Structure 1
Amino acid sequence: AAYGDAVYPDATGTLRLTYGKVEGSDVPGQRFGAFTTFAGLWDRATGAEPFKVAPKLLAAKDRIDPNAVMDMAVSTDTIGGSSGSPAVNA
C-alpha cells in the first residue's frame, strides 16, 4: 500500500499469481530433473546428514511407490519458504 503499484509485492501474505514452466535446473557440473521421486530419495539415503531419512519414512519404504513424485522444480517467481503453495495447470 505504501508504494502503490510501483513496487512488486513481497509475498508477505499478498495473494500472487505467477506462471512458468515445470523444469529442472542446472548447477555447475550437474543437471537436476524437474521432479524428485521417492526412488531418488532412497538412492541418496546414506544415514548421515544431509541424506539422513526419518526412521518412520524408512520403515514405510516397501509400501511407498518409488515413482511417486515428492516435489517439482519450476521457473515461477517464488520465495524461500513457500513450499506447499498450490500449483494449477490447464
Structure 2
Amino acid sequence: MDERVTVLKKQIRAVVVAGGTDEITYQSEWLGYLPFPVDHWVEYQGKTFSGDFPFDWTLDDLASLERTGFLEKLEAYENPEDRFDRCIRYRVHIGCA
C-alpha cells in the first residue's frame, strides 16, 4: 500500500470512528464539456469529506483499499449513458489492519 492509500485509509477510519455508521459513498460526475474535469468525492452521512484527501487520489485507491478488506463494496451504479456518472457505496471494516 503506497503512502497516498495509507493517508486515505487513516482519514476514512477517523471519520467512521467518529460517526455513527460504517458506510461511505464514492460519487463522480462530469459536466460534459471542457475545461471542466471529472469531479469525484467521498461522502459520509451525506457530507463530503474527501476534500482533505491527497490531491491526486483516484478511484483506484479505493479499489486498493477494497482488495485489502478495509472497504467492502455494497452497491455500485454507473449511468449506462455516461460512464463518469457513478455512485459506489462501501462498508468500512475498521478492524482491518
Assess same fold via TM > 0.5: no
User: If you compute each CA radius of gyration, which structure gives the higher value, 1 or 2?
Assistant: 1
TM-score by length of 1: 0.25
TM normalised by structure 2 equals: 0.24
More relative contact order, 1 or 2 (CA 8 Å, 6+ apart): 1
Q: Answer 1 or 2: which has greater strand percent.
A: 2
More helix by share: 2
